[in-house]
Amino acid sequence: MKDLSIYFRAVNIPCEFKEGSVAAAIEIHDENGFPALEKKGIALLSVPEYRNGKVAFETVQDTFREEFYALHLGDNWTHKIYDLGIINPGEAINDTYFALSQTISELVKNDIIPVVIGGGQDLTLACYKGFESLEQMINICSVDSMLDVGDPNETVRSDGFVSHLLMQRPCYLFNYANIGMQRPLVPKKEVDLFNNLYFDICRLGEFNTDYRVAEPFLRNSDMLSVDFKSIKSSETDQLKYGNANGLYAEQICQIAKYAGVSDKMSCLGVFDVVPGHSELAANLLAQIIWYFIDGVSQRVGDFPIGTKKNYTKFHVHLDDFEDDLIFYKSNKSSRWWLEVKYLAKDNKKYERHCLVPCNQNDYDQALENVIPNLWWKTLQKLS
């Protein structure tokens, strides 16, 4: 593994190493040096890079570490947990992007899941570039009250980076999903763009009606980008965050848990974390990290690539439709997938995307002779 220590500075967080706490188990980059990384782990790191945000901060938000270290370990946490420290912002913002992308690339290649605490949400772009070395199509999910499309002809911003993702060449982005969009905050042209690209939007109202609708989007994603401002400000810090509406604390923790359980999820970023916010906000941020790691510990490895012997296969015939729709249900977790058949010369490129996570409601719709919307959208992207 490449030496990543050159990008980081150590943390200096006084804490008591109580038995059974995260502090007693985590390997920290402190005055004793950079931890020796092994495969199959989870690595926490922070990036105080705010120059492309509306407000530029020069201090680092570290209070979440004290809160996180003080939490108790979950059941069956077998992964190694590291705190790599703080990525030093470069002289230019692109230097920071480079350091973060190189870190993400090296960690993901070695089966270590990065948990990135930002910094502006434009750091999502740097995380994405870290996946380029894998040379495979990936999916991104964001938890955000806005879509953050922006203008590709302008400088990337924390609230305008998605258009820059789309302009990357070669482009490895297959799908982008949003959870928590608040329509009053989003221009119609951005919603139209998402619809035209067959991307997914789960509005805040839909999520509030049934939080389980978000699970397939998270199970289908390789990376999760959370805008901390998407959380209702009364749940965090009303002086530092200005969202009168938004997700509740238990909802964002449920999302983090779903993300952790997903076999595909290889990177979590929580961005737009404002330095100097309240102890309540720091505690919630620590719990988001905790629930994500707890989800990772409960993975069952049932993404249906290869043999399907541990799945129940369902054929659904629809009127005026040549082929049956094929659903798979995991015998381990009872989760559902929908197969989207697509014959192409470069089948391997899209192999991971022809089995789409869904829920039982999609199967029930098919039984009523209704083709699930995700089938159409996936086929359009494959085409």
pLDDT along the chain (383 residues), means of 10: 93 81 94 92 96 70 88 95 95 96 97 96 97 92 97 94 94 96 97 97 97 95 97 94 94 98 97 91 97 97 80 93 92 94 63 88 94 91 82
Q: Are residues 319 and 217 in the same domain?
A: no
Residue 73 confidence (pLDDT): 96
In eight-state DSSP terms, residue 33 is: B
**pLDDT score of 348:** 64
> Cβ contacts of residue 326 below 8 Å, gap of 6+?
313, 314, 315, 316, 338, 339, 341
Are both 249 and 369 inside the same structural domain?
no
Is pTM beyond 0.85 here? yes
Per-residue confidence (pLDDT) for residue 343, from 0 to 100: 60
Distance CA 74, CA 21 (A): 9
79 and 210 housed in the same domain: yes
What single DSSP character describes residue 158?
T
Is 260 in the same domain as 323?
Answer: no
| Backbone phi, psi, residue 374, to 5° | -65, -25
Tell me: do 347 and 252 sit in the same domain.
no
pLDDT score for 307: 72
Q: How high is the pLDDT of residue 309?
A: 82
Q: Do residue 110 and residue 214 come from a single domain? A: yes
End residue of a domain, out of 297, 329, 361: 297
User: Are residue 27 and residue 89 in the same domain, yes or no?
Assistant: yes
Q: Is residue 303 part of a domain?
A: no
Q: Are residues 258 and 174 in the same domain?
A: yes
At 55 the pLDDT is: 64
Range of the domain at 337: 311-382
Q: Is residue 90 part of a domain?
A: yes
Total domains present in the chain: 2
| Of the candidates 124, 126, 165, the residue with the CA atom closest to the CA atom of residue 7 | 126
Beta strands in 182-335 (DSSP E): 200-203, 223-227, 267-271, 311-316, 325-330
Among 297, 326, 360, where does a domain finish?
297
Q: Indicate if 204 and 334 belong to the same structural domain.
A: no
Residue 40 belongs to a domain: yes
C-alpha span between 324 and 109 (Å, rounded) = 38
Q: What is the pLDDT of residue 269?
A: 98
Q: Confirm whether 304 is domain-assigned.
A: no
Q: Give yes or no: residues 283 and 342 share one domain.
A: no
Residue 151 belongs to a domain: yes
